Amino acid sequence: MQLSLDNIFKNYIQKDDIFQNKELLLTKYRPENLPHREKEIKTLGSILAPSLRGEKPSNVFVYGKTGTGKTAVTQYVCSKLEEVAMNNGHEVRIIYLNCKMRKVADTEYRLLAKLARELGRDVPPTGLPTDQVYEIFFEAVEDKKRMVILILDEIDIMVEKTGDNFLYNLTRMNEDLENSKISIIGISNNLSFKENLDPRVRSSLSEEEMLFSPYNALQLQDILKSRAEKAFKPGVIAEGVIEKCAALAAQEHGDARRALDLLRVAGEMCEREGSKRVEERHVDMAESKIDMDRILEVVRTQPRQSQAVLWSILKLKENGGNEVQTGDIFSVYEKVCRNSGLAPLTQRRVSDLIAELDLLGIINARVISKGRYGRTRTITLGVSEPILEKIKNTLVSEFYFE
């Protein structure tokens, strides 16, 4: 046993590694070179440039689909701005906050506390009235003559949780600030987010707006090449691989993150196999692995009731039910609940959960009319056999369904 493990490790070290620097392909890596975003970089740069003379730049709302470079471009421009400002004797302070982070942006209190802490103030995690935390943050901003640029990434998530009042308060701060000014860059991939904002908030957040459009396949190829160049050793990527990753990601919605993930995982598949060249078939393998991981993650994060419904469907299918219908599911579901200590929901709620699983793409529910007997839904599974096996294993081993 020990010997074979030693061998695995030894092989790994000796293996002619295809990667030169895999970090460069990770989503969190911040590239210096962002092909096909020159226009956006210039536009954002011009909007923010007044801060270099101590004038308040407009607030900006940056939006567009996922993986279109919104975060990458904003961080790139802001870090350059901070650098240039420092060399010119003006202080521009950038605060970046991703509102998706739990325990940071789920209440106005937490958000303000986090912002105040970023500026070096001490705020207890709870206990003060929100007005007072606001005051602490206000004073921290006002402390020095400077421009504070607040990047609120995935801002729609914060607004969904807490409403848009905090945005109103933040944009109004400037009326009382004397030494310093604060500007907000809000970023969102929810294209209808803006419509639901209070009109006053909308107009102050959107003093400027920037829409990032999806990349096409050719643009994705350039992006991949720029990142792959130093990530892989020279010559290890076979012809057609980059093109394939780009084409697959373009089909989805021009998502650079998807394209990069495909290329990185293809490399990992190749490496695990001990091959020396990344081929197109590794991209196919990467695609199924990524899809599988994604679906498993969805299953894992479902509420337990929804998992119980899914488990009931899988049970029925296992027992040869080709034409699984809503009514059958309910009776199995009640048994599953009894076995796992859950209080069964009404049939109506179970129908809702089935509809949700359908939306998630795990099952396909087709409504069929049974004439005067009303309507029912026939369920088929929306995922392939190997993924199904993994889902079952996950529900058994991590969530103890039986």
Which ranges of 88-172 does DSSP label H, i.e. alpha helix?
108-118, 130-142, 155-162, 165-172
Nearest CB to Mg ion, comparing residues 71 and 162: 71
Q: Is the dihedral of CA 279, 284, 287, 290 positive or negative?
A: negative
Please tell me the distance from the alpha carbon of residue 259 to that of residue 265, in angstroms, as a whole number: 10
The partner in contact with residue 345, picked from Mg ion, ligand ATP, none with C-beta cut-offs of 5 to 8 angstroms by kind, is none
Binding site for ligand ATP (CB under 6 A): 27, 31, 34-37, 66-72, 189, 223, 226-227, 256-257, 260
| 71 binds Mg ion, rule: CB under 5 A | yes
We find the least distance from the C-beta atom of residue 160 to ligand ATP, in angstroms, to be 15
| 306 binds Mg ion, rule: CB under 5 A | no
Nearest CB to Mg ion, comparing residues 34 and 362: 34
Nearest CB to ligand ATP, comparing residues 65 and 315: 65
CA distances 144 to 32, 121, 175, Å, are 30, 14, 16
We find the least distance from the C-beta atom of residue 378 to ligand ATP, in angstroms, to be 35
The partner in contact with residue 72, picked from ligand ATP, Mg ion, none with C-beta cut-offs of 5 to 8 angstroms by kind, is ligand ATP
The partner in contact with residue 67, picked from Mg ion, ligand ATP, none with C-beta cut-offs of 5 to 8 angstroms by kind, is ligand ATP
CA distances 75 to 39, 45, 69, 81, 390, Å, are 15, 11, 10, 10, 38
Nearest CB to ligand ATP, comparing residues 256 and 395: 256
Which string of DSSP letters, residue by residue, matches 29-41? Answer: ---S--TT-HHHH
Nearest CB to ligand ATP, comparing residues 212 and 333: 212
- 147 and 185 Cβ atoms separated by less than 8 Å: no
Q: Which residue is nearest to ligand ATP (CB)?
A: 69
CA distances 301 to 201, 298, 305, Å, are 33, 5, 11
Which string of DSSP letters, residue by residue, matches 201-258? Answer: HHHHHTTEEEEEPPP-HHHHHHHHHHHHHHHBPTT-BPTTHHHHHHHHHHHHT--HHH
Per CB under 5 A, which region of 50-58, 68-76, 131-139, 345-353 contacts Mg ion? 68-76
| Angle ∠(163,166,168) on CA atoms, nearest 5 | 100
Interaction mask 12-51, Mg ion, x per CB under 5 A: ----------------------------------------
State the amino acid at position 116 in one-letter form. A
We find the least distance from the C-beta atom of residue 176 to ligand ATP, in angstroms, to be 32
Nearest CB to Mg ion, comparing residues 71 and 221: 71
We find the least distance from the C-beta atom of residue 87 to ligand ATP, in angstroms, to be 26
- 216 and 254 Cβ atoms separated by less than 8 Å: yes
We find the least distance from the C-beta atom of residue 239 to Mg ion, in angstroms, to be 32
The partner in contact with residue 256, picked from Mg ion, ligand ATP, none with C-beta cut-offs of 5 to 8 angstroms by kind, is ligand ATP
Nearest CB to Mg ion, comparing residues 68 and 307: 68
Nearest CB to ligand ATP, comparing residues 158 and 316: 158
Please tell me the distance from the alpha carbon of residue 54 to that of residue 76, in angstroms, as a whole number: 20
Please tell me the distance from the alpha carbon of residue 138 to that of residue 176, in angstroms, as a whole number: 9
Q: Which residues contribute to the site for Mg ion (CB under 5 A)?
A: 71
